Structure 1
Amino acid sequence: MQIVDIFWPAFTLAVLLVYIHSIFGIEIIRRGVIFTDLAIGQIAAVGMALSIAFLDGSYRTLLVLSFAVFAALVIAWASKNLKNVEAFIGLLYALGISSIMLILANSAEGLEIFSKLSAADILFTSKDELYTSIAVYIPISLVMFLIYPRTKGFFKEILFFVMLAITVTSSVQLAGVLVVFALLIAPAYIGVVQKRFNPMVVAWVSGIFAIITAIIGSYSYDLPTGYSIIFVMVVVSLVFVVFNEKKSLEEK
């Protein structure tokens, strides 16, 4: 019971993270812009690095949100106006990661900070962090389910990328850039490749199973929680996709 009392915010946050990121992940895979979230997350992390390096952590959320929205708007514009947009998005990611390394170059804890920006530990999530996440993610999910499907054209693009940017602003600070990427792509990939059930439901179920397994494993074996989540998410996704493809070929 004591363990449950300590870690229930982390488990609840894990379920919430899978819920919100699967919504965007399925759309990202269908659009064929897989690295969009990674680029936005990395550019958003530049804002966090600036806050840590120069402002003692002040204005962190404002800076992260500003950088995330800027990246989202740039990608929304590029999606409509540039050819080979994946190459453009990949360069944005490279710009983000190199900027962070330059910002943290003179910090004694630069590598440690960079590691946390990539994959943070959600095991000891506080109740306040959980409640803040709920307050952010639930309205975003309502927008994506109720308003987004009714929009068209460039406004639809802007709405999608801005909602993604706001989501990434929160989740990057809690979980790290690479964890966010795994949460967006791995469960959604499972949901999209199978054809029997609703992709969103499958993404939620598989993602929750993977992230809870990762958290329990990281606690039991004293492993880094963030990287455990990435590892388990990716392994579960790859195994499912390979066996699903094998089954599909056998049925033919």
Structure 2
Amino acid sequence: MIDILLTPIALVIILVMMHSWFGIGILKRGIIFTDLAIAQFAALGSAISLGYFHEEYFYILTLSFALLSAFLIAIASQREIKLEAFIGLLYVLGASGILMVLSHSAEGMEHFKSLLASDILFTAPIDVLKSGVIYALIALAIWKILPKTNGFVRELLFFSLLALTVTSSVQLAGVLVVFVLLIAPAFVALSLELKKPLLFSFYFGWFFSTVAIIVSYYFDLPTGYTIVFLGALLSSSIVLFSSKKNLEQN
């Protein structure tokens, strides 16, 4: 049992560390669904590879569509528009595109379910290693290059690095898992106004992800959806019951 669980637990440890940092940045920017829109575009690229090219050009198409959405969001962030509405439109554009593409496939709905939340319980160790290397390079760029930029260049680099992260994450975990790992830990940490929100995000993300993996194994549940459910349930409950009552009357 331990051997089976080690690989997915190692994967979520890496995913939580990488995504928590981006989650805090996204929440501070006030554009919560950015990661979901980018993940959906990445999934659209994956769907095109599955639906039209028999899984050829999988990584290239996935990354290209993720970077395209990141570029559009970076431009929009510098314009006087309702940014959240624009990002919402990108999300539904990607989601509807996936369904249109996979409608031509006999196994379209199975592909769609996999793109939303993969069963990471059976992730190959080599995939975890590859992702670890990619995330390490992204972390290096965040540490060394991002602080030296500003304005549009900084936003473009931030969203591009997020797109690179999401491209690998969607392939391994799925769109919904990516979203909950990005938002749930950071949302709780910032809502509690902690002195070290990033460190708490790591611990909280590791906790609910590991518990979800163990629960999914023992009760034969889909691992990805179990992570999403538990992460969303715990984070929403903590934030709701720890928040102060709004005394303002309309």
Please give the per-residue CA displacement for 1:169-216, whole angstroms capped at 9, x wherever unaligned: 000011111111111100110111112330100111101001001110
| Greater mean deviation of Cα atoms: 135-144 or 15-24 | 135-144
Aligned position for 2:15 = 17
Aligned position for 1:189 = 187
Offset, 1:142: 2.4
Offset, 1:246: 4.8
Structure 1: which 5+ residue stretches go unaligned? Answer: none
Please give the alpha-carbon distance, in whole angstroms, between the structure 2 residues aligned to 1:111 and 1:6.
27
Aligned position for 1:40 = 38
In the alignment, is residue 26 of structure 1 matched against residue 24 of structure 2?
yes
The answer as to whether partners of 2:5 and 2:213 remain within 8 angstroms in 1 is: no
In the alignment, is residue 151 of structure 1 matched against residue 141 of structure 2?
no
Please give the alpha-carbon distance, in whole angstroms, between the structure 2 residues aligned to 1:232 and 1:196.
22
Name the SS for the 2:109 alignment partner: helix
TM-score (norm: length of structure 2): 0.95
Count of aligned pairs between the two proteins: 247
Please give the per-residue CA displacement for 1:145-181, whole angstroms capped at 9, x wherever unaligned: 3332332111100110000000000000111111111
User: Once superposed, which parts of structure 1, at least 4 consecutive aligned residues long, lie more than 4 Å away?
Assistant: 246-249
Please give the per-residue CA displacement for 1:89-123, whole angstroms capped at 9, x wherever unaligned: 10011110110111011211111111111111111
Calculate the aligned-residue CA RMSD, in Å: 1.5
2:241 to 228, 240, 243: 243
| Greater mean deviation of Cα atoms: 30-39 or 146-155 | 146-155
2:205 to 204, 207, 210: 207
Structure 2 counterparts to residues 166-185 of structure 1, below 5 A: 166-185=164-183
TM-score (norm: length of structure 1): 0.94
1:230 to 217, 228, 232: 228
The answer as to whether partners of 2:16 and 2:181 remain within 8 angstroms in 1 is: yes
In the alignment, is residue 160 of structure 1 matched against residue 158 of structure 2?
yes
Residue 53 of structure 2 aligns to which amino acid in structure 1?
Answer: L
Residue 218 of structure 2 aligns to which amino acid in structure 1?
Answer: S
Sequence identity percentage:
49
Please give the alpha-carbon distance, in whole angstroms, between the structure 2 residues aligned to 1:96 and 1:76.
17
Structure 2: which 5+ residue stretches go unaligned? Answer: none
Please give the alpha-carbon distance, in whole angstroms, between the structure 2 residues aligned to 1:169 and 1:201.
24
